[in-house]
Amino acid sequence: MGPKSEQETNHLNEKPGLHVWWRLLRPHTLTASFIPVIVGTMLAILDGEFHLLLFLAMLIAAMLIQAATNMFNEYYDYKRGLDNEKSVGIGGTIVRDGVKPIVVKRLGFLFFFLAILLGVYICLTSSWWIAVIGLISMLIGYLYTGGPIPIAYTPFGELFSGGLMGTVMISISYYIQTLQITMEVIIISAPIAIFIGCILLSNNIRDLDGDKENGRKTLAILVGRDRAITLLKWLMLISYLLTLVYVAVGLLPIYSVISLLSISKAKYAVDTFRKNNTNVGMIPAMAATAKTNTIYGALISLSLIIHVIYPLSL
């Protein structure tokens, strides 16, 4: 495959060398892996438990699984003819940088293998049930775009991504620290799960036309672009309303109201989607959706740390 033109490279803001492999990870999506681990761990700290090595192992394993999922996405979208040199929002390592597809696929399996090694350590210090959940998580990650009926081709992508990377990941991160799971933790995970689902929804809004041409039946396709944007707005609003309810009933400390500072980023994402109908024009909206999850999760985590140091209740 020939090299990209300078105009195309500038337009896509892509660079050669190590940047190629960095793009393959799709770093803007990694917020869906590290934020849940951090939040789950902070909830454990709030209950007086914290083991640094377990936290680091869980954090790296979660990011490896997310990155591997992105690689399989790149590989199978290429194999099914969805990606081309002008595709927006992909790593582009195969169609634009000439990396062999098999290299991308093998790298995904390598990341899974490394995650398994970390998982063994986590299981040895907590429970072997974590291995079952971890393997199921990796299987779903692979089947997202692999297998005979990829999850990405159905309306259930947001549900799988939000439930798995949000609620399940937060719960596991809490459990390996405390060796218990509570209904409160599961309930508190809901806003993060919704925001993670919103990341995928925003991706599907951007890719709606191309996905439709290639036979996908995503949620955005089924409800239409305008309704999908409205749904994105309401899902984000529900997350913030849930946060206020949690503060009011004592599930989260009063400090957690600082998470509302992320609303401006959420509003920017929705407004940008409404003002743009091209793939390139919608990239900032998708990035803002991912940043909303990052900022919200970081502020929730910060509020929990502050509460540990300076306990304060309504």
Radius of gyration (Cα) for the chain, nearest Å? 19
Q: What is the C-alpha separation between 197 and 220, in angstroms, rounded?
A: 12
Please indicate, yes or no, if residue 39 is contained in any of the structural domains: yes
Please indicate, yes or no, if residue 8 is contained in any of the structural domains: no
Please indicate, yes or no, if residue 203 is contained in any of the structural domains: yes
Q: What is the C-alpha separation between 292 and 151, in angstroms, rounded?
A: 24
Please indicate, yes or no, if residue 314 is contained in any of the structural domains: no
pLDDT at res. 314 = 59
pLDDT at res. 86 = 62
Domain that holds residue 222: 16-309
Q: What's 102's domain CATH number?
A: 1.10.600
Q: Look at the chain and report how many structural domains it folds into.
A: 1
Please indicate, yes or no, if residue 170 is contained in any of the structural domains: yes
What's the chain's length in residues? 314
**Cα dihedral sign, 205-240-258-308:** negative
pLDDT at res. 263 = 97
Q: CB-hemisphere CA count at 13 Å for 130?
A: 31
- Three-state secondary structure string covering 24-45: HCCHHHCHHHHHHHHHHHHHHH
Instruction: Give per-residue pLDDT as tens, 274-293.
Output: 999 888 899 999 999 999 99
Please indicate, yes or no, if residue 4 is contained in any of the structural domains: no
pLDDT at res. 173 = 97
Give the chain's residues under pLDDT 70. 1-17, 83-92, 313-314
pLDDT at res. 88 = 61
Please check whether residue 46 is in contact with residue 178, taking contact to mean a CB–CB distance below 8 angstroms. no
Please check whether residue 92 is in contact with residue 23, taking contact to mean a CB–CB distance below 8 angstroms. yes
Annotate 73-136 with DSSP letters as a single string.
HHHHHHHTT---TT-SSS--TTTTT---HHHHHHHHHHHHHHHHHHHHHHHHHS-THHHHHHHH
Please indicate, yes or no, if residue 5 is contained in any of the structural domains: no
pLDDT at res. 213 = 84
Please indicate, yes or no, if residue 11 is contained in any of the structural domains: no
